[in-house]
Structure 1
Amino acid sequence: MRGTIFVELIKMAEETFGEDVVDEVLEKADLDNDGAFTTVGNYPCSELVKIVMALSAHSSISPEVLQRKFGHWMINHFVENFPAFFEGKADSFAMLESVDGEIHVEVAKLYPDAELPVFETKRLAPDHLIMTYSSPRPLVEFCHGMIEACLDLFSQSADIQRMAVPTPANATRFDIRLTA
């Protein structure tokens, strides 16, 4: 995984829990590199999971809730650092539909070795979108948080239902219906 994900998780944790707590948690997490991450590095997802689990153990906030909060954090990071991806998008569905065909195309150009998740979308009605997320990494809750944050960004609310997809592992179908 790209190092920027790790750097942003640590920034979120420091803002939430404080630098001293994060230092202590990283020390206890038994990380391969002792918690030294750079934005340009590549690191195994297992290290991210270790950090989330250690933060969960320290805070008593479930790993699932932490991943969702991190999804919200990352949308804000992307808006600040990559505003062009959000320009011209009329609503959250247009944004979500652009992930694979636009955003990931650009990411792949910059980082040809990146293992990107796949987002397949199908709009069933103006207020109903199905998004299938497939990834070799166990980050479904993170994805769910990013969907929620995307809806928030466009001042929309929705009922989001999830259904596991039999293959590949970690694939989930999000059934997203806008609400008034």
Structure 2
Amino acid sequence: MKGVVFTEFLEMVESRFSADMVDDIIEDAGIKSGGAYTAVGSYPFAEMVALVTALSQRSGLEPQALIYAFGHYLFGRFALLYPYSIQGCSCAFMVLSNIEKHIHQEVQKLYPDAQLPHIEVLSSDERCLSLLYSSPRCLAPLASGLIQGALDHFGEQGRIVAEPLNDDGSKVRFVVELV
């Protein structure tokens, strides 16, 4: 997993909880890196799992809720750090429809070894967008948070329904309906 995801996660923890919480979860997680991440480095996904688990134990919040909150936070950060990724998009559906064709291609240019989820547009109209999320990392709550972050960024109200298509959560259909 790319280091930028780790650095942004720790920044979210610091902004939402405290710098002490960051230190505490790094210690609790017992991770090999010791929490020293660079944005361009690559780190084991297991370290992210350990950090989220430690944050869940300390905060009392469910891991899935923390992952969702991180996804929401991450959209705002990516929009700020990589404004070209949403340039020319006037609504959340435009951004979400361009993830695979544009955004992930740009990410691969910056981070050639990045292992990204696959996001396929199943159907789209003015009010409803259906996406297929596929990833062996099973981070559908992160994707859901990113979707909500996109809606919020563009000042749109929507309902997001996540429908797991298998038992392990590696394939999920998202239906986003504007309200």
TM bucket, shorter chain: over 0.9
Cα deviation 1:41-67 (Å, max 9, x = unaligned): 101111101101100100001111111
TM-score normalized with structure 2 length: 0.95
Asked if the contact 1:122–1:130 (Cα under 8 Å) also holds between the matched residues in 2, the reply is yes
Secondary structure at the aligned position of 2:163 is classed as: strand
Partner residue, 2:178: 178
Structure 1: runs of 5 or more not aligned:
none
Partner residue, 1:59: 59
CA–CA distance in structure 1, aligned partners of residues 158 and 137 of structure 2? 25
Secondary structure at the aligned position of 2:178 is classed as: strand
Structure 2: runs of 5 or more not aligned:
none
Partner residue, 1:92: 92
> Greater shift after overlay, 35-44 or 92-101?
35-44
CA shift at 1:110, angstroms?
2.4
Asked if the contact 2:140–2:169 (Cα under 8 Å) also holds between the matched residues in 1, the reply is no
Q: Cα 1:23–1:168, aligned 2, differ >3 Å: closer, same or farther?
A: closer
Partner residue, 1:36: 36
Structure 1 ranges of 4+ moved more than 6 A: none
Q: Cα 1:76–1:124, aligned 2, differ >3 Å: closer, same or farther?
A: closer
Number of residue pairs the alignment of both structures matches: 179
CA–CA distance in structure 2, aligned partners of residues 125 and 111 of structure 1? 32
Taking only aligned residues, the RMSD between alpha carbons, in angstroms, comes to: 1.4
CA shift at 1:126, angstroms?
1.1
Q: Cα 1:168–1:100, aligned 2, differ >3 Å: closer, same or farther?
A: farther
1:136 aligns with 2:154: no
CA shift at 1:25, angstroms?
1.7
TM-score normalized with structure 1 length: 0.94
Secondary structure at the aligned position of 1:73 is classed as: helix
Secondary structure at the aligned position of 2:98 is classed as: helix
Partner residue, 2:8: 8
CA–CA distance in structure 1, aligned partners of residues 125 and 21 of structure 2? 46
CA–CA distance in structure 2, aligned partners of residues 93 and 117 of structure 1? 18
CA shift at 1:176, angstroms?
1.0
CA–CA distance in structure 1, aligned partners of residues 123 and 138 of structure 2? 25
CA–CA distance in structure 1, aligned partners of residues 69 and 141 of structure 2? 9
Secondary structure at the aligned position of 1:34 is classed as: coil
Partner residue, 2:20: 20
- Aligned partner of 1:90: which letter? S
